[in-house]
Amino acid sequence: MNTNPKTDPAPEGTHTNTVKNPDDWTTGDETMTGAQASYLKTLSEEAGEPFDETLNKAEASKRIDALQAATGRGKNH
């Protein structure tokens, strides 16, 4: 049986690089992407938190995760 790594989840306990710690990103210190900025602004507004436009990619990713947890948006927690 062939699996498609884009659509089929990895077997339990298997390590993949589809989820990588933002601190380990080689481009993490670059300016956040437009998509990150847009989503982060939306989440910040919903959470009643300030939007920090100076975050880099890695910082923005971590902030998005925190605000998703705070708002119940995005990931299933």
Q: Which pLDDT band holds residue 62 (cuts at 50, 70, 90)?
A: very high
- Whole-model pTM? 0.68
pLDDT at 1 over 80: no
pLDDT at 5 over 70: no
Q: What distance in Å separates the CA atoms of residue 16 and residue 38, rounded to the nearest whole number?
A: 28
Start-end of H helices in the chain: 34-47, 57-71
Which of residues 26 and 4 earns the better pLDDT score?
Answer: 26
Average per-residue pLDDT in the chain? 83
Angle at 31 between CA 30 and CA 34, to 5 degrees: 130
Which of residues 77 and 53 earns the better pLDDT score?
Answer: 53
